[in-house]
Structure 1
Amino acid sequence: MKLRKLTDCRIDECPTVYLSDRGTVVFQGNTVTSGLRLGPGEQAVELPLEVVRQALPELSGGN
């Protein structure tokens, strides 16, 4: 899978959003471990609202 970074993270260890070559969105963030019921193989991550705001223009542009 090839990923294109959509947000401003300059290093690989910060919350960010990627667009894959498969037409999916990949989120990198802090793991959420409570308050959710996740299915097999699922994980939840938490992203700062500003990271989501940065990604939205790229995603809505149809890229």
Structure 2
Amino acid sequence: MLISINPANQHDLDILKENFRGFVREFMNCSIIGDKGYIDKGFENLLRQGKVYFEAIKRN
């Protein structure tokens, strides 16, 4: 389990980008499912290079 406590005024994607190396280390060869608001194409490509596969879902 990975828990991160961050300020509420900081965007989740910014936090993920700041902690990129640790995130890749913890989730290498895993698929992550999340909301489209948590990813952009450039960062998605970086995750794929680190063998972390982000699947964006659309809220209904």
Q: TM-score range by the shorter chain?
A: under 0.3
Structure (1 or 2) with the greater helix fraction: 2
Q: Which has the greater radius of gyration?
A: 1
TM-score after normalising by structure 2 = 0.28
TM-score after normalising by structure 1 = 0.27
RCO higher in structure (CA 8 A, sep ≥6): 2
Structure (1 or 2) with the greater strand fraction: 1
